Structure 1
């Protein structure tokens, strides 16, 4: 039995039944510290010292604020602090690395920033403790030829932003040698600067053995109305849909597919539906979602007013998915009125996202849907949306103050921190002042990280 197992066993049965020499809690604390440090004392043997750092650490005040956040003060701001610090090109101080690496072990979303902030000492620690080994997969700044998977993705992403043609040519030159996992992630990088010139490469990717590669390629081709995949999907929709005049209006008649053949699978239609969804409904939704929206000869607002005797919910859900996949602003606006989900906002420019969200806040009661919509808006919220949210907080505070906690946190975390003075002056209501205090905390955070 290991020393840790012995301590746990003693703690469970009690020291009365299983005596322990010394202070049990103190011994357990020492053992926890040993485990989190990377390896237990006495087992290290010959070990190279940590390499010298190449980057300067963040300033003292910034480091102190990070410690406060890690200690539980506005803990949800940790990703924002990490992103802002990583953007400066500096690193985190050495004494917080064990805690940061442990956080990264539990939270994948912050790992990319830790790859920059951990520095050479962080990678040294990651080499000592297997549970922190994920850090060794994060970008280090190496090149396409010499870097690991994360470095190569970062290199391809930067090259794609600068020269889409050269980036695709580089990927094609090594495609056959890439692992299935890398191929799936490399395809997604091509979303930046996507054009019809990418179609031949993406068409070949539809024949890949890995389902994730095929799905990613199909998603990108769906955004190209002139692509062959889009034309094939349009033909499938035309075979299923008939719009006819009936009385003073129009009816959309649907005959859902009766089978999913190999050609449909190759184009990204998944044959097996999720639990609770019928096969025909599932196939119908996918072909409508992947068909170019121009296949519908009427504008979305008019289509939504038409009667759909069969498959009404499935067709409209597919229109939502199509607007998201194809990032069509006109359809996204229309479908947001039918199903206000945050994913639709991503098809709109940031300023319009905020305008649409502000109107939604004004017209909608405070519930989980409003919280989800706000969570999908690009940061930082500017004055229009900030004012709408603060008005909502003041209004709800007079009727349901117990229901405000999440909205107050969201406002404090997403409103532009430069607006903290406006928030302070907006209302003396306690929840508004809580928002203002959090905005001031974030404003100070950015000042401390400034060059």
Structure 2
């Protein structure tokens, strides 16, 4: 039987099944069919010449960054192997900030990890080095690396209007370049972005707009107002967020006018009139027409309008300071009004409103909106007054790391107090303390109490302290 005829016979048998069309010879089962097909395929491919000669793969460019120390690389391998895996981000962030690159043997596993976890990708852009980018060019699954930051940004003092990085760099490098220029000369950064705005991808436009949050001023308003007409919703929302932070902007004035139509004080109570429609002008100003599942449209429009209204409007409009407004009776739609105020305090980074709202409803985002020193004292006071539950854990998640002595002492004391009554309930708080407290305090923690949870915190702090020393 010819090769082609034999192949056709195998295909026909596979289509109808060996029970209806048995193969000739002994052992005519499905396994035999697959075995013959495999042999036949191998025979056809053996000795086949390529259609065109292959091109040799280009080699990776020489590395320019220093490699992490052997001890640091070994610790990373331990973390990847399951020892304190929650410290992976801290290790990567620290190593990237110091301009190191990874040992090549660690790259494949980390790139596979980053393919699933987007949060670590910006760190890998630096750490992967030229070898990592070479690998990413060979494997489409790692292609994301080719858009990340490739080096640690230098301080910008005097750069050309259009630099080589801005012209040819990755998206990440261009974002870092724009950020450095924005910090040094806000006007020049805005002019640079304006010059290339129409050529940028939608994703880059949204990312570049976020950079303008540094040094934000009324001079940025015309550019941001024009960005409200962008085709991409993320770009429009980012522009609206920035304009909300400019109290005298046209968007802020439009929102103040809407607030006056929706909210007033009557007989000592706050009364609310819901919007009747979400028109194109409201959508342009960042109010999304479609409500989340389970939320009424009109209440959703109200909440967003409140969130984008400058916070200094409310004391003038309602005749009360923030402390009193937050605690006043709201006849209807109080949840939406206060949720809008929370979003506004976070968006506008208003410490007075954030502090008052946190006292009314402790939320991690409000704690994060406070200045660093205030965060520490407010969070420590909350830990002392509040029991150990999910809310305590979430609030502590809003306190910037590393925690200093005030917050560290409050959390460690809470662990000691609870260890005598509910030791089984300390798992997450113990991990959080070990991950967020300043690792230099490991000795203080270890001497504080012999209780096992405290010693567990101290051991994790020592692990982090050694980890950071290895990356110096």
TM-score category, normalised to shorter length: 0.7 to 0.9
Which of 229, 237, 241 in structure 1 is aligned with 2:259? 237
SS at match of 1:143: helix
Q: C-alpha displacement at 1:45, in angstroms?
A: 7.0
SS at match of 1:352: helix
Q: Map 1:242-321; keep pairs closer than 5 Å.
A: 242-244=264-266, 246=267, 250-297=268-315, 298-321=320-343
**Aligned partners of 2:252, 2:218: CA distance in 1, in Å?**
12
**Aligned partners of 2:232, 2:190: CA distance in 1, in Å?**
19
Which of 384, 404, 412 in structure 2 is aligned with 1:362? 384
Q: Map 1:19-418; keep pairs closer than 5 Å.
A: 46-141=56-151, 143-244=165-266, 246=267, 250-297=268-315, 298-418=320-440
List per-residue Cα deviations over 1:167-192 (Å, max 9, x = no partner): 00100011111122211111111111
- The aligned residue for residue 430 of structure 1 is 452
Is the 1:116–1:139 contact (alpha carbons within 8 Å) kept by the matching residues of 2? yes
Q: C-alpha displacement at 1:231, in angstroms?
A: 0.7
Following TM superposition, where does structure 1 have runs of at least 4 consecutive aligned residues deviating by more than 6 angstroms? none
Q: C-alpha displacement at 1:47, in angstroms?
A: 2.0
Q: C-alpha displacement at 1:18, in angstroms?
A: 6.5
State TM-score, norm by structure 2.
Answer: 0.84
**Aligned partners of 1:242, 1:436: CA distance in 2, in Å?**
54
State TM-score, norm by structure 1.
Answer: 0.88
- Report which of the two structures shows the higher radius of gyration computed on alpha carbons: 2
Q: C-alpha displacement at 1:347, in angstroms?
A: 1.7
Q: C-alpha displacement at 1:95, in angstroms?
A: 1.3
Which has the larger displacement, 124-133 or 166-175?
124-133
Gaps (5+ residues) in structure 1?
A: 1-16, 20-43
Is the 1:327–1:346 contact (alpha carbons within 8 Å) kept by the matching residues of 2? no
- The aligned residue for residue 17 of structure 2 is none
**Aligned partners of 1:45, 1:98: CA distance in 2, in Å?**
24
Q: Kindly report the root-mean-square deviation, in angstroms, between the aligned alpha carbons of the 2 structures.
A: 1.6
- The aligned residue for residue 13 of structure 1 is none
Q: C-alpha displacement at 1:425, in angstroms?
A: 0.7
List per-residue Cα deviations over 1:111-169 (Å, max 9, x = no partner): 11111011111111111111111111112246101112222111111111111111001
Q: C-alpha displacement at 1:195, in angstroms?
A: 1.1
Gaps (5+ residues) in structure 2?
A: 1-29, 33-53, 152-163
SS at match of 2:376: helix
**Aligned partners of 2:69, 2:444: CA distance in 1, in Å?**
29
**Aligned partners of 2:88, 2:258: CA distance in 1, in Å?**
47
User: How many residues are aligned here?
Assistant: 407
